[in-house]
């Protein structure tokens, strides 16, 4: 079978690359990683694609273990989607990391190459595991390699070691919770095999199902970055090297989401709406908290880390909505919810990896990630800026880029709660929809600030530092992912049918039939559409493209009943054409008509009476985000220190510099009280340590006397 050959090729390439990295000199490490990493990523994509195209699941038994059963590997439609998106991320990430190795940005290149390729193999094994034991072994290997890649960077700073240890400790805590959840499932099934667990899970009691859900949801939620177990993620991202953090954000983060979906929607399908509502609420809170912190921070890596938390929250909210619809027997909305969540997961992998490429290049060129110290980079890095702009437009969910499609579908999913009967459940959906809408608005604010303050305006960086355009090793992976962001935005009617088979077993319905009507006459299902419905939409141009494009059409549309034949509809393909026409027409009108007869005159600019506007006097990232900070002050509780400097006269300020210290809500509500209690206990115990020999001798005699008294009392009984 071709799928098996691709899996063997993937693992062989990872192993061969690791062996070559050990044997070859430092100067060849970049080439080794580029070749073997890219080929391994291609093999991973082919393994996933072959399963999606053939529609046949792959299953291969391995070794029989005493008292544990047989280990197996396998690929179904769901894991095939994750394999495909992981390969699409690892391919450009390998090119980007290899360029850093060639520049000598990583001191021990062979160790880095070995660990990164080993991580690739562990990620792939998580997705192809067919039983709980194989899954957990691959998961544990992934956690260890991620930790080693963080701490084995060029500068062995205490902060990086602590952040890596925090990642490992939190990951192990989550793994232990997931192990307990798997053990409960395996005890009910009498086997660790996923197929056996799935067959017996409907018979589990309510209490046991709740235990499995909470253990696996928050256990895998640690890796995904869900509130309240997400405080480790910004620290780990900041400590990770520029070559590794794109893999951390674009590939390993998806493992937690895969675990949540695999267990709580696949192995143990929802029978009660309550767990789905928990996932919906936690996902919404995660998204809102993540984007609030991203909007107000100035460190580019920290901003993107908090943004990852936000996007994970959106995905998990979609999972929760799908679980609620499955439990309440609404298969079509469930299919739409799961497709929207998977679509956003894929989109996040693309644009977040792209943005981390850009931030890594900015940090290398400028030596800083502070937005208040950047500005005007578009003049020196126009190509990198263009690719970064695509990433910011995508993550801001603006059409026609991919983020718009998945977030639009997610919000439409929240509105499908009208089909539910419970008023309380409808209220939860309404509040979640409002929270996600606020999250989307804040995301636009956040990344307008990132792009404007980092790449536009005046240069705030030291004038003596030379800035250059990014090299091909950075530009190539950036433009690969930029093209994917645009392609997945323009062609959702091809992406949705690809994802639909993966969610059909989870939801019990086809998302493709519900969202992509066959408007193209070449599709076999076209004749099944009502003739009046087809005529109305063909008059609007729904058949445009059928003469040269395959597939069902270019319109995403959910049909209703006779009274409301269209519930919602959208076409980013048509949007793109409309935007091009509008922008092109505006350019023609302004340049060729309104300004054609005007002469350009140059004059000195007026800056409020100041002879020269200094860079530090311009609007800063801190000032841009100040309204959000003020409105949500109850969440942040920042400590602000103000430092004002003057220039020209006492009436003109150069800048108001604010240094803010903010505490994460989990630290504030959980860890700080626990730490304070432990310190109080330690201080109380400290009184026992006087440092005097006579005092310690008294303690020993008192303890001996207490033991003798207890012995005499016992003897008298």
Contact 225, 312 (CB under 8 A): yes
Taking Cα atoms as reference points, which of 114, 172, 170 lies closest to residue 145?
A: 114
pLDDT digits 0-9 by tens, 501-517: 999 999 999 999 999 99
Shared domain check, 643 and 503 = no
Contact 31, 11 (CB under 8 A): no
Domain for residue 444, yes or no? yes
With a cut of 80, say whether residue 598 has pLDDT above it. Answer: no
Q: What φ, ψ does residue 618 adopt, rounded to 5°?
A: -80, 170
Question: What rounded mean pLDDT belongs to the chain?
Answer: 86
327/559: higher pLDDT: 327
Shared domain check, 632 and 504 = no
Domain for residue 546, yes or no? no
584/631: higher pLDDT: 584
pLDDT digits 0-9 by tens, 536-564: 888 888 888 888 888 888 999 998 776 77
Shared domain check, 419 and 399 = yes
What CA–CA distance (Å, rounded) separates 345 from 313? 10
Shared domain check, 442 and 317 = yes
Domain for residue 704, yes or no? yes
Shared domain check, 690 and 628 = no
Domain for residue 18, yes or no? no
| Cα first-last separation, the chain | 78
Tell the residue number behind the tokens 């609030």, with chain if given: 292
Domain for residue 567, yes or no? no
pTM of the predicted structure, to 2 decimals: 0.89
Shared domain check, 453 and 406 = yes
With a cut of 90, say whether residue 623 has pLDDT above it. Answer: no
Mean pLDDT along residues 347-374 = 92
608/146: higher pLDDT: 146
Q: What is the total count of domains within the chain? A: 3
Mean pLDDT along residues 375-383 = 91
Shared domain check, 371 and 456 = yes
β-strands 69-75, 649-661 pairing: unpaired
Mean pLDDT along residues 291-301 = 90
Shared domain check, 695 and 642 = no
pLDDT digits 0-9 by tens, 223-274: 998 988 888 888 888 888 888 999 999 999 999 999 999 999 999 998 899 9
The whole-number pLDDT of residue 690 equals: 59
The whole-number pLDDT of residue 505 equals: 93
pLDDT band at 609 (very low <50, low <70, confident <90, very high): low
Domain for residue 85, yes or no? no
Domain for residue 533, yes or no? no
pLDDT digits 0-9 by tens, 443-491: 999 999 999 999 988 888 877 778 888 888 899 999 999 999 999 999 9
Q: What is each CA distance from 559 to 274, 429, 534, 667, in whole angstroms?
A: 28, 21, 12, 47
Contact 34, 22 (CB under 8 A): no
pLDDT digits 0-9 by tens, 190-219: 888 998 999 888 888 889 999 999 999 999
Neighbours of 603 (CB within 10 A): 5
pLDDT digits 0-9 by tens, 479-495: 999 999 999 999 999 99
| Residue 312 lies in domain | 270-508
The whole-number pLDDT of residue 330 equals: 93
Domain for residue 89, yes or no? no
The whole-number pLDDT of residue 156 equals: 47
- Check residue 131 and report its DSSP letter: B
Mean pLDDT along residues 402-426 = 93
Contact 206, 272 (CB under 8 A): yes
* Least trusted range by pLDDT, from 68-82, 294-308, 636-650: 636-650
Shared domain check, 679 and 652 = no
What CA–CA distance (Å, rounded) separates 464 from 452? 22
Shared domain check, 491 and 635 = no
Give yes or no for a cis peptide into 115 (omega within 30° of 0).
no
Shared domain check, 685 and 643 = no
Taking Cα atoms as reference points, which of 357, 234, 353, 239 lies closest to residue 305?
A: 234
Shared domain check, 307 and 366 = yes
């Amino acid at each position: 079978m071709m799928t098996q050959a691709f899996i063997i090729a993937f693992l062989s390439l990872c192993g061969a690359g690791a062996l070559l990295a050990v044997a070859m000199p430092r100067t060849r490490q970049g080439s080794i990683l580029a070749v073997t990493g890219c080929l391994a990523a291609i093999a991973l994509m082919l393994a996933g694609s072959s399963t999606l195209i053939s529609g046949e699941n792959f299953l291969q038994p391995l070794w029989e273990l005493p008292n544990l059963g047989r280990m197996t590997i396998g690929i179904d439609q769901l894991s095939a989607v994750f394999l495909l998106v992981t390969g699409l991320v690892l391919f450009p990430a390998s090119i980007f990391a290899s360029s850093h190795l060639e520049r000598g940005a990583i001191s021990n290149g062979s160790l880095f190459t070995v660990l990164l390729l080993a991580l690739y193999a562990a990620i792939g094994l998580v997705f192809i595991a067919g039983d709980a034991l194989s899954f957990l072994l691959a998961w544990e290997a992934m956690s260890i390699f991620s930790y080693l890649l963080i701490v084995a960077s060029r500068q062995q700073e205490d902060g990086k070691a602590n952040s890596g240890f925090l990642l490992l400790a939190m990951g192990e805590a989550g793994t232990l919770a997931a192990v307990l959840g798997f053990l409960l499932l395996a005890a009910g099934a009498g086997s660790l095999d996923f197929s056996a667990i799935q067959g017996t899970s409907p018979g589990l009691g309510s209490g046991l199902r709740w235990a499995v859900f909470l253990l696996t949801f928050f256990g895998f939620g640690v890796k995904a970055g869900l509130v309240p177990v997400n405080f480790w993620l910004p620290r780990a991202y900041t400590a990770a090297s520029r070559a590794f953090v794109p893999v951390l954000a674009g590939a390993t983060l998806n493992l937690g989401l895969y675990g949540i979906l695999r267990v709580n929607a696949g192995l143990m399908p929802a029978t009660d709406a309550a767990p789905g509502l928990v996932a919906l609420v936690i996902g919404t809170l995660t998204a809102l908290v993540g984007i609030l912190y991203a909007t107000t921070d100035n460190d580019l890596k920290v901003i993107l880390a908090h943004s990852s938390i936000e996007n994970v929250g959106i995905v998990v909210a979609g999972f929760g909505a799908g679980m609620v619809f499955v439990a309440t027997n609404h298969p079509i909305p469930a299919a739409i919810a799961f497709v929207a969540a998977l679509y956003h997961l894929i989109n996040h992998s693309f644009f977040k990896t792209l943005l981390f490429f850009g931030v890594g290049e900015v940090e290398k060129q400028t030596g800083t990630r502070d937005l208040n110290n950047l500005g005007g980079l578009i003049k020196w890095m126009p190509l990198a800026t263009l690719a970064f702009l695509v990433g910011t437009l995508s993550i801001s969910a603006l059409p026609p880029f991919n983020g718009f499609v998945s977030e639009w579908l997610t919000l439409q999913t929240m509105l499908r709660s009208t089909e539910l009967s419970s008023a309380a459940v409808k209220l939860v959906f309404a509040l979640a929809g409002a929270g996600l809408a606020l999250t989307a608005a804040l995301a636009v604010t956040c990344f307008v600030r990132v792009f404007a303050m980092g790449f536009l305006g005046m240069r705030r960086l030291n004038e003596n530092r030379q800035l250059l355009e990014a090299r091909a090793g950075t530009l190539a992976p950036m433009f690969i992912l930029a093209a994917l962001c645009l392609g997945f935005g323009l062609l959702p009617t091809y992406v949705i049918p690809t994802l639909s088979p993966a969610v059909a077993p989870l939801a019990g319905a086809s998302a493709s039939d519900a969202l992509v009507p066959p408007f193209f006459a070449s599709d076999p299902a076209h004749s099944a559409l009502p003739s009046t419905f087809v005529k109305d939409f063909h008059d609007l141009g729904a058949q445009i493209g059928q003469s040269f494009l395959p597939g069902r059409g270019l319109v995403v549309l959910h049909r209703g009943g006779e009274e409301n034949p269209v519930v919602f509809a959208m076409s980013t393909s048509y949007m793109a054409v409309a935007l091009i026409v509008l922008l092109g027409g505006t350019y023609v009108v302004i340049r060729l008509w309104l300004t054609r007869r005007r002469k350009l005159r140059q004059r000195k600019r007026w800056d409020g009476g100041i002879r020269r506007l200094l860079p530090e006097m311009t609007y800063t990232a801190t000032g841009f985000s100040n309204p959000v900070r003020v409105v949500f002050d109850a969440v942040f509780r920042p400590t602000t220190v103000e430092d004002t400097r003057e220039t020209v006269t006492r009436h003109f300020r150069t800048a108001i510099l604010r240094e803010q210290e903010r505490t994460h809500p989990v630290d504030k509500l959980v860890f700080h009280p626990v730490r304070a209690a432990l310190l109080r206990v330690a201080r109380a115990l400290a009184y026992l340590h006087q440092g005097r020999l006579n005092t310690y001798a008294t303690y020993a005699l008192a303890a001996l006397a207490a033991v003798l008294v207890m012995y005499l009392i016992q003897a008298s009984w």
